[in-house]
Structure 1
Protein backbone atom coordinates (compact mmCIF):
# COMPACT_ATOMS: atom_id res chain seq x y z
CA UNK A 1 0.00 0.00 0.00
CA UNK A 2 1.18 3.53 -0.74
CA UNK A 3 -0.79 5.50 1.84
CA UNK A 4 2.02 8.02 2.19
CA UNK A 5 1.45 9.15 -1.41
CA UNK A 6 -2.31 8.95 -0.84
CA UNK A 7 -1.95 11.74 1.70
CA UNK A 8 0.69 13.87 -0.05
CA UNK A 9 -0.02 13.72 -3.79
CA UNK A 10 -1.67 16.77 -5.39
CA UNK A 11 -2.53 15.54 -8.90
CA UNK A 12 -4.86 12.63 -9.68
CA UNK A 13 -5.34 11.98 -13.41
CA UNK A 14 -8.73 10.45 -14.18
CA UNK A 15 -7.18 7.57 -16.06
CA UNK A 16 -8.21 6.77 -19.59
CA UNK A 17 -8.72 3.07 -20.32
CA UNK A 18 -7.01 2.09 -23.59
CA UNK A 19 -9.07 -0.31 -25.71
CA UNK A 20 -8.45 -2.44 -28.75
CA UNK A 21 -10.34 -1.86 -31.97
CA UNK A 22 -12.95 -4.40 -30.82
CA UNK A 23 -13.38 -2.38 -27.58
CA UNK A 24 -11.84 -5.00 -25.33
CA UNK A 25 -9.42 -3.57 -22.77
CA UNK A 26 -5.89 -3.10 -24.08
CA UNK A 27 -3.99 -4.27 -21.02
CA UNK A 28 -0.58 -3.43 -22.44
CA UNK A 29 -1.96 0.04 -23.13
CA UNK A 30 -3.10 0.32 -19.51
CA UNK A 31 0.48 -0.39 -18.45
CA UNK A 32 1.84 2.25 -20.83
CA UNK A 33 -0.60 4.92 -19.66
CA UNK A 34 0.12 4.12 -16.01
CA UNK A 35 3.85 4.53 -16.59
CA UNK A 36 3.35 7.77 -18.53
CA UNK A 37 1.35 9.45 -15.75
CA UNK A 38 3.89 8.42 -13.13
CA UNK A 39 6.83 9.54 -15.27
CA UNK A 40 5.10 12.91 -15.69
CA UNK A 41 5.27 13.41 -11.92
CA UNK A 42 1.89 12.08 -10.75
CA UNK A 43 2.07 10.13 -7.50
CA UNK A 44 -1.64 9.37 -7.50
CA UNK A 45 -3.93 7.72 -10.06
CA UNK A 46 -7.74 7.63 -10.20
CA UNK A 47 -8.85 4.55 -12.14
CA UNK A 48 -12.40 3.26 -12.54
CA UNK A 49 -13.36 6.91 -12.94
CA UNK A 50 -15.92 8.15 -15.44
CA UNK A 51 -13.05 8.90 -17.83
CA UNK A 52 -12.02 5.26 -17.40
CA UNK A 53 -15.49 4.37 -18.76
CA UNK A 54 -16.35 2.64 -15.49
CA UNK A 55 -20.07 2.76 -16.31
CA UNK A 56 -19.43 0.56 -19.34
CA UNK A 57 -17.08 -1.99 -17.79
CA UNK A 58 -18.24 -5.31 -16.37
CA UNK A 59 -17.90 -5.90 -12.61
CA UNK A 60 -14.98 -8.26 -13.26
CA UNK A 61 -13.27 -5.74 -15.57
CA UNK A 62 -13.54 -3.04 -12.92
CA UNK A 63 -11.76 -5.17 -10.37
CA UNK A 64 -9.15 -6.40 -12.84
CA UNK A 65 -8.46 -2.82 -14.00
CA UNK A 66 -7.70 -1.78 -10.43
CA UNK A 67 -5.50 -4.83 -9.92
CA UNK A 68 -3.58 -4.09 -13.12
CA UNK A 69 -2.98 -0.40 -12.37
CA UNK A 70 -1.90 -1.16 -8.79
CA UNK A 71 0.50 -3.86 -9.98
CA UNK A 72 2.00 -1.61 -12.64
CA UNK A 73 2.31 1.36 -10.30
CA UNK A 74 4.16 -0.97 -7.92
CA UNK A 75 4.31 1.54 -5.09
CA UNK A 76 5.35 4.46 -7.31
CA UNK A 77 1.90 6.02 -7.01
CA UNK A 78 -1.18 5.67 -4.83
CA UNK A 79 -4.31 4.39 -6.55
CA UNK A 80 -7.92 5.29 -5.83
CA UNK A 81 -10.81 3.66 -7.66
CA UNK A 82 -14.59 3.84 -7.81
CA UNK A 83 -16.33 1.09 -5.91
CA UNK A 84 -20.04 1.94 -6.01
CA UNK A 85 -22.38 1.49 -8.94
CA UNK A 86 -25.91 2.36 -7.88
CA UNK A 87 -26.88 -0.84 -6.14
CA UNK A 88 -28.31 -1.66 -2.71
CA UNK A 89 -26.21 -0.76 0.32
CA UNK A 90 -25.31 -4.43 0.84
CA UNK A 91 -24.16 -4.77 -2.78
CA UNK A 92 -22.18 -1.52 -2.58
CA UNK A 93 -20.40 -2.76 0.55
CA UNK A 94 -19.44 -5.99 -1.22
CA UNK A 95 -18.23 -4.03 -4.25
CA UNK A 96 -16.13 -1.66 -2.15
CA UNK A 97 -14.47 -4.61 -0.43
CA UNK A 98 -13.62 -6.21 -3.79
CA UNK A 99 -12.02 -3.02 -5.09
CA UNK A 100 -10.08 -2.62 -1.85
CA UNK A 101 -8.91 -6.24 -2.01
CA UNK A 102 -7.67 -5.56 -5.56
CA UNK A 103 -5.21 -3.10 -4.04
CA UNK A 104 -6.83 0.33 -4.12
CA UNK A 105 -5.46 2.67 -1.44
CA UNK A 106 -8.91 4.26 -1.13
CA UNK A 107 -12.27 3.35 -2.64
CA UNK A 108 -14.35 6.16 -4.12
CA UNK A 109 -18.11 6.51 -3.63
CA UNK A 110 -20.05 8.14 -6.47
CA UNK A 111 -22.38 10.56 -4.74
CA UNK A 112 -25.11 10.21 -7.36
CA UNK A 113 -25.25 6.47 -6.69
CA UNK A 114 -26.50 6.95 -3.13
CA UNK A 115 -30.12 7.37 -4.17
CA UNK A 116 -32.46 8.27 -7.00
CA UNK A 117 -32.50 11.87 -8.32
CA UNK A 118 -35.45 12.78 -6.11
CA UNK A 119 -34.11 11.16 -2.94
CA UNK A 120 -34.04 13.41 0.12
CA UNK A 121 -30.81 14.26 1.91
CA UNK A 122 -31.91 12.02 4.78
CA UNK A 123 -32.43 9.07 2.42
CA UNK A 124 -29.13 9.23 0.59
CA UNK A 125 -27.07 10.22 3.63
CA UNK A 126 -28.62 7.23 5.42
CA UNK A 127 -27.39 5.03 2.59
CA UNK A 128 -23.96 6.59 2.99
CA UNK A 129 -23.88 5.88 6.72
CA UNK A 130 -24.82 2.24 6.13
CA UNK A 131 -22.00 1.87 3.60
CA UNK A 132 -19.47 3.50 5.92
CA UNK A 133 -20.49 1.28 8.83
CA UNK A 134 -20.30 -1.85 6.67
CA UNK A 135 -16.84 -1.35 5.21
CA UNK A 136 -14.67 -1.63 8.32
CA UNK A 137 -11.58 0.57 8.23
CA UNK A 138 -11.28 0.85 4.43
CA UNK A 139 -10.24 4.36 3.38
CA UNK A 140 -12.95 6.03 1.33
CA UNK A 141 -13.43 8.95 -1.03
CA UNK A 142 -16.14 10.92 -2.81
CA UNK A 143 -16.62 11.83 -6.47
CA UNK A 144 -19.48 14.15 -7.42
CA UNK A 145 -19.79 12.39 -10.79
CA UNK A 146 -21.87 14.48 -13.24
CA UNK A 147 -23.56 11.53 -14.99
CA UNK A 148 -26.24 10.33 -15.15
CA UNK A 149 -27.04 13.23 -12.79
CA UNK A 150 -24.97 15.33 -10.44
CA UNK A 151 -25.39 15.22 -6.67
CA UNK A 152 -23.27 17.70 -4.74
CA UNK A 153 -22.49 16.94 -1.11
CA UNK A 154 -23.87 19.51 1.38
CA UNK A 155 -21.26 20.89 3.74
CA UNK A 156 -22.91 19.30 6.78
CA UNK A 157 -22.76 15.78 5.29
CA UNK A 158 -19.25 16.43 4.00
CA UNK A 159 -18.20 17.50 7.48
CA UNK A 160 -19.77 14.42 9.06
CA UNK A 161 -17.90 12.15 6.63
CA UNK A 162 -14.64 14.02 7.19
CA UNK A 163 -14.87 13.65 10.95
CA UNK A 164 -15.31 9.88 10.75
CA UNK A 165 -11.62 9.83 9.84
CA UNK A 166 -12.35 7.32 7.07
CA UNK A 167 -12.54 9.72 4.11
CA UNK A 168 -9.28 10.86 2.52
CA UNK A 169 -10.18 11.83 -1.07
CA UNK A 170 -12.79 14.08 -2.65
CA UNK A 171 -13.06 14.99 -6.32
CA UNK A 172 -15.14 18.17 -6.33
CA UNK A 173 -17.20 19.12 -9.35
CA UNK A 174 -19.28 21.89 -7.81
CA UNK A 175 -17.47 24.42 -10.05
CA UNK A 176 -18.06 26.83 -7.19
CA UNK A 177 -15.37 28.41 -5.04
CA UNK A 178 -17.94 29.30 -2.32
CA UNK A 179 -19.13 25.67 -2.22
CA UNK A 180 -15.57 24.40 -1.94
CA UNK A 181 -14.91 26.95 0.79
CA UNK A 182 -17.80 25.60 2.86
CA UNK A 183 -16.56 22.03 2.42
CA UNK A 184 -13.02 22.97 3.40
CA UNK A 185 -14.28 24.75 6.51
CA UNK A 186 -16.42 21.72 7.47
CA UNK A 187 -13.50 19.30 7.06
CA UNK A 188 -10.75 21.37 8.70
CA UNK A 189 -8.39 19.26 10.79
CA UNK A 190 -9.48 15.94 9.24
CA UNK A 191 -7.74 13.61 6.75
CA UNK A 192 -10.24 14.47 3.98
CA UNK A 193 -8.44 16.19 1.09
CA UNK A 194 -10.31 18.17 -1.59
CA UNK A 195 -9.18 17.98 -5.22
CA UNK A 196 -10.77 20.44 -7.60
CA UNK A 197 -12.17 18.78 -10.72
CA UNK A 198 -12.20 22.08 -12.62
CA UNK A 199 -8.80 23.40 -13.65
CA UNK A 200 -10.03 26.98 -14.09
CA UNK A 201 -10.20 27.60 -10.32
CA UNK A 202 -7.33 25.46 -9.02
CA UNK A 203 -5.29 28.50 -7.97
CA UNK A 204 -8.24 29.76 -5.94
CA UNK A 205 -9.13 26.41 -4.37
CA UNK A 206 -5.55 25.67 -3.35
CA UNK A 207 -5.17 29.11 -1.79
CA UNK A 208 -8.19 28.20 0.37
CA UNK A 209 -6.75 24.85 1.46
CA UNK A 210 -7.66 22.53 -1.41
CA UNK A 211 -4.98 19.94 -2.11
CA UNK A 212 -4.82 19.90 -5.91
CA UNK A 213 -6.59 18.73 -9.05
CA UNK A 214 -8.29 15.65 -10.45
CA UNK A 215 -9.73 15.98 -13.94
CA UNK A 216 -9.26 16.07 -17.70
CA UNK A 217 -6.33 18.49 -17.62
CA UNK A 218 -4.36 16.16 -15.33
CA UNK A 219 -5.01 13.29 -17.71
CA UNK A 220 -3.70 15.05 -20.82
CA UNK A 221 -1.16 17.59 -19.57
CA UNK A 222 -0.04 16.07 -16.25
CA UNK A 223 3.37 17.74 -16.22
CA UNK A 224 1.76 21.20 -16.34
CA UNK A 225 -0.79 20.38 -13.64
CA UNK A 226 1.92 18.89 -11.41
CA UNK A 227 3.86 22.15 -11.74
CA UNK A 228 0.77 24.33 -11.16
CA UNK A 229 -0.28 22.46 -8.03
CA UNK A 230 3.28 22.57 -6.68
CA UNK A 231 2.90 26.37 -6.58
CA UNK A 232 0.29 25.80 -3.83
CA UNK A 233 -2.09 28.59 -4.78
CA UNK A 234 0.52 31.16 -5.81
CA UNK A 235 -1.17 33.76 -8.00
CA UNK A 236 1.19 35.33 -10.50
CA UNK A 237 1.61 35.84 -14.24
CA UNK A 238 3.10 32.38 -14.80
CA UNK A 239 0.53 30.40 -12.81
CA UNK A 240 -2.34 32.35 -14.38
CA UNK A 241 -1.00 31.66 -17.88
CA UNK A 242 -0.78 27.92 -17.24
CA UNK A 243 -4.25 27.82 -15.66
CA UNK A 244 -5.79 29.74 -18.58
CA UNK A 245 -4.18 27.48 -21.19
CA UNK A 246 -5.31 24.34 -19.39
CA UNK A 247 -8.84 25.75 -19.01
CA UNK A 248 -9.16 26.19 -22.76
CA UNK A 249 -7.63 22.77 -23.46
CA UNK A 250 -9.97 21.09 -20.97
CA UNK A 251 -12.99 22.63 -22.68
CA UNK A 252 -11.84 21.61 -26.14
CA UNK A 253 -11.41 17.95 -25.24
CA UNK A 254 -15.12 17.58 -24.36
CA UNK A 255 -15.99 16.88 -28.00
CA UNK A 256 -16.31 13.10 -28.52
CA UNK A 257 -14.70 12.45 -25.14
CA UNK A 258 -13.01 10.10 -24.23
CA UNK A 259 -12.14 9.03 -27.79
CA UNK A 260 -10.79 12.51 -28.48
CA UNK A 261 -8.64 12.33 -25.35
CA UNK A 262 -7.19 8.94 -26.32
CA UNK A 263 -6.50 10.29 -29.79
CA UNK A 264 -4.67 13.30 -28.34
CA UNK A 265 -2.78 11.17 -25.83
CA UNK A 266 -1.52 8.92 -28.62
CA UNK A 267 -0.46 11.97 -30.64
CA UNK A 268 1.27 13.62 -27.68
CA UNK A 269 3.15 10.57 -26.48
CA UNK A 270 3.56 8.26 -29.45
CA UNK A 271 1.96 5.44 -27.46
CA UNK A 272 0.28 2.87 -29.73
CA UNK A 273 -3.20 3.23 -28.27
CA UNK A 274 -6.43 3.51 -30.24
CA UNK A 275 -9.31 5.97 -29.83
CA UNK A 276 -11.75 3.09 -29.32
CA UNK A 277 -14.29 3.67 -26.55
CA UNK A 278 -17.44 2.06 -25.18
CA UNK A 279 -18.97 5.39 -24.23
CA UNK A 280 -22.04 6.18 -26.39
CA UNK A 281 -21.36 8.94 -28.90
CA UNK A 282 -17.58 8.70 -28.55
CA UNK A 283 -15.66 8.12 -31.76
CA UNK A 284 -12.40 9.37 -33.29
CA UNK A 285 -12.30 12.92 -34.60
CA UNK A 286 -11.62 13.50 -38.29
CA UNK A 287 -8.71 15.69 -39.34
CA UNK A 288 -10.84 18.84 -39.23
CA UNK A 289 -12.12 18.06 -35.73
CA UNK A 290 -8.75 17.00 -34.37
CA UNK A 291 -6.76 19.97 -35.71
CA UNK A 292 -7.83 22.41 -32.93
CA UNK A 293 -6.69 19.96 -30.24
CA UNK A 294 -3.39 19.43 -31.99
CA UNK A 295 -2.93 23.17 -32.44
CA UNK A 296 -3.67 23.77 -28.76
CA UNK A 297 -1.07 21.22 -27.73
CA UNK A 298 1.50 22.68 -30.10
CA UNK A 299 0.80 26.15 -28.68
CA UNK A 300 1.34 24.95 -25.12
CA UNK A 301 4.55 23.16 -26.03
CA UNK A 302 5.88 26.09 -28.10
CA UNK A 303 5.70 28.51 -25.17
CA UNK A 304 8.70 26.82 -23.54
CA UNK A 305 7.37 27.63 -20.10
CA UNK A 306 9.98 27.77 -17.38
CA UNK A 307 8.51 25.33 -14.89
CA UNK A 308 11.05 25.52 -12.12
Structure 2
Protein backbone atom coordinates (compact mmCIF):
# COMPACT_ATOMS: atom_id res chain seq x y z
CA UNK A 1 0.00 0.00 0.00
CA UNK A 2 1.44 3.35 -1.01
CA UNK A 3 1.68 6.41 1.20
CA UNK A 4 -0.32 9.59 0.75
CA UNK A 5 1.66 12.56 -0.53
CA UNK A 6 1.20 16.16 -1.61
CA UNK A 7 -0.44 15.03 -4.88
CA UNK A 8 -2.97 12.59 -3.45
CA UNK A 9 -6.40 13.12 -4.97
CA UNK A 10 -9.83 11.53 -5.23
CA UNK A 11 -12.29 10.49 -2.55
CA UNK A 12 -11.23 9.05 0.81
CA UNK A 13 -14.45 8.11 2.57
CA UNK A 14 -14.58 8.63 6.32
CA UNK A 15 -15.75 5.24 7.51
CA UNK A 16 -18.35 4.70 10.17
CA UNK A 17 -17.65 2.15 12.90
CA UNK A 18 -20.54 -0.34 13.06
CA UNK A 19 -21.85 -1.45 16.47
CA UNK A 20 -24.51 -3.87 17.55
CA UNK A 21 -27.41 -2.86 19.76
CA UNK A 22 -25.34 -3.59 22.88
CA UNK A 23 -22.51 -1.29 21.79
CA UNK A 24 -20.02 -3.97 20.75
CA UNK A 25 -18.10 -3.55 17.50
CA UNK A 26 -19.79 -5.45 14.68
CA UNK A 27 -16.77 -6.89 12.92
CA UNK A 28 -18.72 -8.49 10.07
CA UNK A 29 -20.39 -5.16 9.31
CA UNK A 30 -16.99 -3.47 9.43
CA UNK A 31 -15.83 -5.80 6.65
CA UNK A 32 -19.05 -5.23 4.74
CA UNK A 33 -18.98 -1.43 4.93
CA UNK A 34 -15.31 -1.39 3.92
CA UNK A 35 -16.21 -3.33 0.78
CA UNK A 36 -19.24 -1.08 0.25
CA UNK A 37 -17.14 2.09 0.18
CA UNK A 38 -14.71 0.70 -2.37
CA UNK A 39 -17.54 -0.70 -4.49
CA UNK A 40 -18.97 2.84 -4.52
CA UNK A 41 -15.74 4.03 -6.14
CA UNK A 42 -13.75 5.34 -3.17
CA UNK A 43 -10.04 5.85 -3.83
CA UNK A 44 -9.21 5.30 -0.17
CA UNK A 45 -10.64 5.26 3.34
CA UNK A 46 -10.09 7.19 6.54
CA UNK A 47 -10.89 5.34 9.75
CA UNK A 48 -11.17 6.38 13.40
CA UNK A 49 -12.24 9.90 12.56
CA UNK A 50 -14.79 11.93 14.50
CA UNK A 51 -17.66 10.39 12.52
CA UNK A 52 -16.08 6.98 13.14
CA UNK A 53 -16.72 7.54 16.87
CA UNK A 54 -12.99 7.31 17.57
CA UNK A 55 -13.18 8.97 21.02
CA UNK A 56 -15.43 6.10 22.16
CA UNK A 57 -12.82 3.41 21.35
CA UNK A 58 -10.30 1.79 23.62
CA UNK A 59 -6.72 1.75 22.33
CA UNK A 60 -6.92 -2.00 21.75
CA UNK A 61 -10.14 -1.57 19.74
CA UNK A 62 -8.55 1.18 17.66
CA UNK A 63 -5.62 -1.11 16.87
CA UNK A 64 -7.85 -4.02 15.89
CA UNK A 65 -10.09 -1.80 13.71
CA UNK A 66 -6.97 -0.49 11.97
CA UNK A 67 -5.62 -4.00 11.43
CA UNK A 68 -8.89 -5.31 10.07
CA UNK A 69 -9.68 -2.44 7.67
CA UNK A 70 -6.12 -2.16 6.34
CA UNK A 71 -6.08 -5.89 5.62
CA UNK A 72 -9.51 -5.75 4.00
CA UNK A 73 -8.52 -2.80 1.82
CA UNK A 74 -5.68 -4.76 0.24
CA UNK A 75 -3.43 -2.40 -1.70
CA UNK A 76 -5.85 0.53 -1.42
CA UNK A 77 -4.84 3.40 0.91
CA UNK A 78 -6.20 3.74 4.44
CA UNK A 79 -5.54 6.81 6.59
CA UNK A 80 -5.88 6.26 10.34
CA UNK A 81 -7.14 8.96 12.70
CA UNK A 82 -4.76 9.10 15.66
CA UNK A 83 -5.84 12.28 17.45
CA UNK A 84 -5.36 11.98 21.20
CA UNK A 85 -4.99 14.25 24.22
CA UNK A 86 -1.36 13.20 24.66
CA UNK A 87 1.47 12.60 22.22
CA UNK A 88 2.41 9.24 23.72
CA UNK A 89 -0.91 7.64 22.79
CA UNK A 90 -0.83 9.41 19.40
CA UNK A 91 2.63 8.00 18.69
CA UNK A 92 1.73 4.48 19.80
CA UNK A 93 -1.29 4.23 17.51
CA UNK A 94 0.55 5.94 14.63
CA UNK A 95 3.52 3.58 14.74
CA UNK A 96 1.30 0.54 14.98
CA UNK A 97 -0.93 1.68 12.12
CA UNK A 98 2.01 2.41 9.85
CA UNK A 99 3.50 -0.99 10.64
CA UNK A 100 0.18 -2.52 9.57
CA UNK A 101 0.38 -0.72 6.23
CA UNK A 102 -1.51 2.52 6.74
CA UNK A 103 -1.05 5.22 4.09
CA UNK A 104 -0.77 8.00 6.66
CA UNK A 105 -2.25 9.34 9.89
CA UNK A 106 -4.72 12.15 10.58
CA UNK A 107 -4.27 14.58 13.48
CA UNK A 108 -6.80 17.15 14.67
CA UNK A 109 -5.65 19.92 17.02
CA UNK A 110 -6.70 19.51 20.68
CA UNK A 111 -9.24 22.04 21.88
CA UNK A 112 -6.79 23.45 24.43
CA UNK A 113 -4.88 25.34 21.71
CA UNK A 114 -5.82 29.01 21.82
CA UNK A 115 -3.07 31.01 20.12
CA UNK A 116 -1.27 30.93 16.79
CA UNK A 117 1.98 30.08 18.56
CA UNK A 118 0.36 27.14 20.36
CA UNK A 119 -1.16 25.76 17.14
CA UNK A 120 2.11 25.99 15.20
CA UNK A 121 4.05 24.57 18.14
CA UNK A 122 1.67 21.64 18.54
CA UNK A 123 2.09 20.45 14.96
CA UNK A 124 5.83 20.89 15.36
CA UNK A 125 5.67 18.52 18.33
CA UNK A 126 3.55 16.05 16.38
CA UNK A 127 5.96 15.78 13.44
CA UNK A 128 8.94 15.59 15.80
CA UNK A 129 7.24 12.80 17.75
CA UNK A 130 6.34 10.83 14.61
CA UNK A 131 9.51 11.48 12.63
CA UNK A 132 9.89 12.65 9.04
CA UNK A 133 8.71 9.48 7.30
CA UNK A 134 5.09 9.30 8.48
CA UNK A 135 2.75 11.33 6.25
CA UNK A 136 0.39 13.48 8.30
CA UNK A 137 -3.08 14.79 7.45
CA UNK A 138 -3.88 18.01 9.29
CA UNK A 139 -7.59 18.12 10.12
CA UNK A 140 -8.81 21.71 10.09
CA UNK A 141 -12.33 21.45 11.53
CA UNK A 142 -12.94 24.42 13.83
CA UNK A 143 -16.68 23.76 14.09
CA UNK A 144 -15.83 20.61 16.04
CA UNK A 145 -12.40 21.29 17.57
CA UNK A 146 -13.03 24.99 18.39
CA UNK A 147 -9.47 25.64 17.17
CA UNK A 148 -9.31 28.29 14.44
CA UNK A 149 -6.22 27.93 12.24
CA UNK A 150 -5.65 31.19 10.38
CA UNK A 151 -4.40 31.34 6.81
CA UNK A 152 -1.08 32.73 8.05
CA UNK A 153 -0.50 29.98 10.63
CA UNK A 154 -1.51 27.31 8.16
CA UNK A 155 1.04 28.67 5.67
CA UNK A 156 3.76 28.52 8.35
CA UNK A 157 2.83 24.94 9.22
CA UNK A 158 2.93 23.91 5.56
CA UNK A 159 6.33 25.52 5.02
CA UNK A 160 7.92 24.40 8.30
CA UNK A 161 6.74 20.77 8.51
CA UNK A 162 7.14 18.91 5.21
CA UNK A 163 5.82 15.61 6.58
CA UNK A 164 2.36 17.22 6.70
CA UNK A 165 1.27 16.16 3.24
CA UNK A 166 -2.46 16.83 3.27
CA UNK A 167 -5.03 19.25 4.61
CA UNK A 168 -8.43 17.84 5.55
CA UNK A 169 -10.24 21.08 4.90
CA UNK A 170 -13.40 21.52 6.96
CA UNK A 171 -13.34 25.20 7.79
CA UNK A 172 -16.75 26.74 7.15
CA UNK A 173 -16.89 29.17 5.43
CA UNK A 174 -13.54 28.19 3.98
CA UNK A 175 -13.50 28.43 0.20
CA UNK A 176 -11.16 31.42 0.33
CA UNK A 177 -8.71 29.41 2.43
CA UNK A 178 -8.35 26.97 -0.46
CA UNK A 179 -7.80 29.83 -2.89
CA UNK A 180 -5.10 31.38 -0.69
CA UNK A 181 -3.24 28.08 -0.37
CA UNK A 182 -3.19 27.57 -4.13
CA UNK A 183 -2.17 31.18 -4.74
CA UNK A 184 0.68 30.79 -2.25
CA UNK A 185 1.82 27.64 -4.06
CA UNK A 186 1.90 29.54 -7.33
CA UNK A 187 4.21 32.00 -5.58
CA UNK A 188 6.56 29.27 -4.36
CA UNK A 189 4.97 27.72 -1.27
CA UNK A 190 5.24 23.93 -0.98
CA UNK A 191 2.28 22.08 -2.46
CA UNK A 192 -0.11 20.24 -0.18
CA UNK A 193 -2.98 17.92 -1.05
CA UNK A 194 -6.39 19.30 -0.07
CA UNK A 195 -9.28 16.90 0.52
CA UNK A 196 -12.47 18.45 1.86
CA UNK A 197 -15.03 17.47 4.48
CA UNK A 198 -18.41 18.68 5.76
CA UNK A 199 -20.30 15.80 4.18
CA UNK A 200 -19.47 16.92 0.66
CA UNK A 201 -21.82 19.88 1.02
CA UNK A 202 -19.50 22.24 -0.85
CA UNK A 203 -17.51 19.71 -2.88
CA UNK A 204 -18.15 21.17 -6.35
CA UNK A 205 -17.20 24.67 -5.23
CA UNK A 206 -14.18 23.39 -3.30
CA UNK A 207 -12.85 21.54 -6.30
CA UNK A 208 -13.39 24.60 -8.47
CA UNK A 209 -11.19 26.50 -6.00
CA UNK A 210 -8.41 23.92 -6.28
CA UNK A 211 -9.21 21.08 -3.87
CA UNK A 212 -8.06 17.61 -4.91
CA UNK A 213 -11.17 15.74 -3.76
CA UNK A 214 -13.04 14.76 -0.62
CA UNK A 215 -12.26 13.15 2.72
CA UNK A 216 -15.64 12.89 4.36
CA UNK A 217 -18.67 10.66 4.67
CA UNK A 218 -22.22 10.51 3.38
CA UNK A 219 -24.81 7.78 3.16
CA UNK A 220 -24.30 7.76 -0.62
CA UNK A 221 -20.52 7.90 -1.10
CA UNK A 222 -20.96 7.40 -4.83
CA UNK A 223 -22.24 10.99 -4.94
CA UNK A 224 -18.85 12.32 -3.84
CA UNK A 225 -17.05 10.02 -6.28
CA UNK A 226 -19.21 11.18 -9.18
CA UNK A 227 -18.96 14.88 -8.29
CA UNK A 228 -15.17 14.68 -7.98
CA UNK A 229 -14.81 12.91 -11.31
CA UNK A 230 -17.17 15.27 -13.11
CA UNK A 231 -15.43 18.36 -11.75
CA UNK A 232 -12.03 16.95 -12.69
CA UNK A 233 -13.35 16.32 -16.20
CA UNK A 234 -14.65 19.90 -16.44
CA UNK A 235 -18.33 18.87 -16.48
CA UNK A 236 -19.41 21.52 -14.00
CA UNK A 237 -23.09 21.73 -14.97
CA UNK A 238 -23.54 17.96 -14.83
CA UNK A 239 -21.80 17.87 -11.44
CA UNK A 240 -24.16 20.49 -10.02
CA UNK A 241 -27.25 18.81 -11.50
CA UNK A 242 -26.25 15.56 -9.82
CA UNK A 243 -25.41 17.31 -6.54
CA UNK A 244 -28.83 18.97 -6.52
CA UNK A 245 -30.52 15.56 -6.50
CA UNK A 246 -28.72 14.64 -3.27
CA UNK A 247 -28.93 18.09 -1.66
CA UNK A 248 -32.03 17.56 0.51
CA UNK A 249 -30.44 14.52 2.18
CA UNK A 250 -27.07 16.29 2.47
CA UNK A 251 -28.86 19.17 4.17
CA UNK A 252 -30.66 16.86 6.57
CA UNK A 253 -27.48 14.98 7.45
CA UNK A 254 -25.61 18.22 8.13
CA UNK A 255 -27.58 18.89 11.32
CA UNK A 256 -25.11 19.15 14.22
CA UNK A 257 -25.44 16.26 16.64
CA UNK A 258 -27.72 14.27 14.32
CA UNK A 259 -25.60 13.70 11.24
CA UNK A 260 -24.00 10.40 12.24
CA UNK A 261 -27.34 8.89 13.22
CA UNK A 262 -28.72 9.88 9.81
CA UNK A 263 -25.71 8.44 8.02
CA UNK A 264 -25.88 5.15 9.90
CA UNK A 265 -29.63 4.90 9.26
CA UNK A 266 -29.02 5.27 5.53
CA UNK A 267 -26.14 2.80 5.51
CA UNK A 268 -28.20 0.23 7.41
CA UNK A 269 -31.11 0.80 5.01
CA UNK A 270 -28.73 0.13 2.11
CA UNK A 271 -27.40 -3.06 3.73
CA UNK A 272 -23.87 -1.76 4.30
CA UNK A 273 -24.13 -2.26 8.08
CA UNK A 274 -26.46 -4.47 10.11
CA UNK A 275 -27.52 -1.88 12.68
CA UNK A 276 -27.64 1.92 12.78
CA UNK A 277 -26.65 1.86 16.46
CA UNK A 278 -24.28 4.48 17.88
CA UNK A 279 -22.07 3.63 20.84
CA UNK A 280 -23.06 5.39 24.06
CA UNK A 281 -23.20 8.24 24.65
CA UNK A 282 -25.21 8.60 21.49
CA UNK A 283 -28.59 7.58 20.17
CA UNK A 284 -30.22 6.83 16.86
CA UNK A 285 -33.04 8.55 15.04
CA UNK A 286 -36.54 8.90 16.38
CA UNK A 287 -39.29 7.27 14.34
CA UNK A 288 -40.29 10.69 13.01
CA UNK A 289 -36.75 11.54 11.90
CA UNK A 290 -36.28 8.12 10.28
CA UNK A 291 -39.51 8.63 8.31
CA UNK A 292 -38.29 12.03 7.14
CA UNK A 293 -35.01 10.53 5.93
CA UNK A 294 -36.81 7.71 4.13
CA UNK A 295 -39.04 10.24 2.38
CA UNK A 296 -36.02 12.24 1.21
CA UNK A 297 -34.42 9.06 -0.10
CA UNK A 298 -37.53 8.17 -2.11
CA UNK A 299 -37.55 11.62 -3.71
CA UNK A 300 -33.81 11.39 -4.34
CA UNK A 301 -34.23 8.05 -6.13
CA UNK A 302 -36.91 9.49 -8.40
CA UNK A 303 -34.78 12.49 -9.26
CA UNK A 304 -31.73 10.38 -10.03
CA UNK A 305 -33.80 8.30 -12.46
CA UNK A 306 -34.91 11.50 -14.18
CA UNK A 307 -31.28 12.60 -14.52
CA UNK A 308 -30.29 9.24 -15.96
Normalised by the length of structure 2, the TM-score is 0.86
Cα distance, 1:241 vs. partner?
A: 2.3
Q: Which residue of 2 aligns with 1:107?
A: 105
SS in 2 for 1:304: helix
Give distance in 1, aligned partners of 2:306 and 2:9.
Answer: 23
Q: CA deviation at 1:281?
A: 3.7
SS in 2 for 1:46: strand
Residue aligned with 2:182, SS: helix
State the distance in 2 between where 1:29 and 1:120 align.
Answer: 42
Contact 2:30 2:273 in 1 (8 A): no
Could you tell me how far apart the structure 2 residues matched to 1:81 and 1:50 are?
A: 11
Shift of the 121–67 alpha-carbon distance from structure 1 to 2, 3 Å rule, reads: same
**Residue number among 150, 153, 166 corresponding to 1:154 in the alignment:** 150
**Which residue is equivalent to 2:180?**
182
- Structure 1 residue runs of 4+, over 6 Å off? none
Cross-structure match for 1:131: 126
Using the size of structure 1 for normalisation, the TM-score is: 0.86
Distance between the aligned counterparts of 1:177 and 1:4, measured in 2? 23
Task: Report the Cα offset of residue 273 of structure 1.
Answer: 1.2
Residue 67 of structure 2 is matched in structure 1 by: 67
Q: Shift of the alpha carbon at 1:299?
A: 2.2
Partner of 2:292: 292
Aligned with 1:142: secondary structure?
strand
Alignment-derived partner of residue 237 in structure 1: 237
Work out the CA distance in 1 between the residues paired with 2:238 and 2:33.
28
Higher relative contact order (CA 8 A, sep 6+): 2
**2:167 equivalent in structure 1:** 170
Partner residue of 1:82?
A: 81
> Are residues 91 and 72 of structure 1, via their aligned partners in 2, closer, same or farther at CA, if it must alter by over 3 Å?
closer
Distance 1:144 1:68 in 2: 27
Q: What residue in structure 2 maps to residue 223 of structure 1?
A: 222
Correspondence for 1:213: 214
Deviation per residue, 1:284-304 (Å, 9 max, x gap) = 431x22122122222222222
Where 2:52 maps in the other structure, the secondary structure is coil
1:8–1:131: structure 2 CA closer, same or farther, 3 Å change rule? Answer: closer
Q: Secondary structure at the match of 1:11?
A: strand
Deviation at 1:42, TM superposition (A): 0.3
Worse-matched range after superposition: 1-10 or 37-46: 1-10
- Alignment match, 2:266: 264
Shift, 1:267, TM fit: 1.0
Do 1:19 and 1:274's aligned partners in 2 also have CA atoms closer than 8 Å?
yes
Structure 2 distance, partners of 1:152, 1:201, is 19
Aligned length: 298
- Residue 143 of structure 2 contacts residue 171 of structure 2 at CA under 8 Å; is this kept in 1? no
Report if aligned partners of 1:158, 1:186 keep a CA contact under 8 Å in 2: no
